């Protein structure tokens, strides 16, 4: 899910993530914007991509979960966070957050997905490093 104000870099990151998931046998992948998210909150695993400024759904996620709150200051310019949590609208599903302090942080985290051996369902990753 991309915010309506997603940058071209964030849209490219979404395509990279989609391609990665398809290559790893995901059965249904669709990139949608925030206007259509209500139909997909329940019954689906979600990938939410962007910055708090470009994707307003992140603020909703922050209010409903213990997700790492990304700001312009944290994790910092050109940096981002990957985080896997239960989908707050459907606990039987998962949610992957691909967040950045800016569009380049989002891009950095989308590239980290290519190294899927590092991904652990119970960890948060800050620009390639594990957040404690």
What integer pLDDT is reported at residue 29 of this predicted model?
A: 78
What integer pLDDT is reported at residue 19 of this predicted model?
A: 86
Q: Give the residues of the chain that fall short of pLDDT 70.
A: 27, 114-132
107 neighbors 100 (Cβ within 8 angstroms)? yes
Residues forming a β-bridge with 98? 49, 82
67 neighbors 51 (Cβ within 8 angstroms)? no
pLDDT digits (tens, 9 = 90+) for 42-67: 999 999 999 999 999 999 999 999 99
Look at phi and psi of residue 130 and say left if phi exceeds 0, alpha if psi is from -120 to 50, else beta: beta
Q: What is the pTM of this model?
A: 0.80
Q: What are the structural domains, with CATH classification, of the chain?
A: 8-131 (3.30.379.10)
**Phi, psi angles (nearest 5°) of residue 47:** -125, 115
């Amino acid at each position: 899910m991309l915010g309506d104000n997603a940058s071209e870099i964030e849209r490219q990151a979404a395509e990279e993530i989609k391609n990665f998931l398809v290559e790893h046998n995901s059965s249904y992948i669709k990139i949608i914007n925030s206007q259509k998210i209500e139909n997909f909150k329940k019954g689906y695993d979600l990938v939410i991509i962007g910055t708090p400024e470009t994707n307003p759904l992140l603020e909703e996620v922050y209010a409903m979960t213990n997700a790492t709150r990304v700001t312009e200051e944290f994790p910092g310019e050109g940096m981002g966070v990957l985080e896997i949590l239960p989908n707050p609208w459907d606990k039987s599903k998962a949610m992957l957050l691909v967040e950045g302090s800016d569009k380049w942080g989002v891009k950095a985290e989308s590239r980290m997905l290519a190294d899927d051996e590092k991904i652990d369902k119970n960890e948060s990753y800050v620009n390639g490093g594990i957040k404690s």
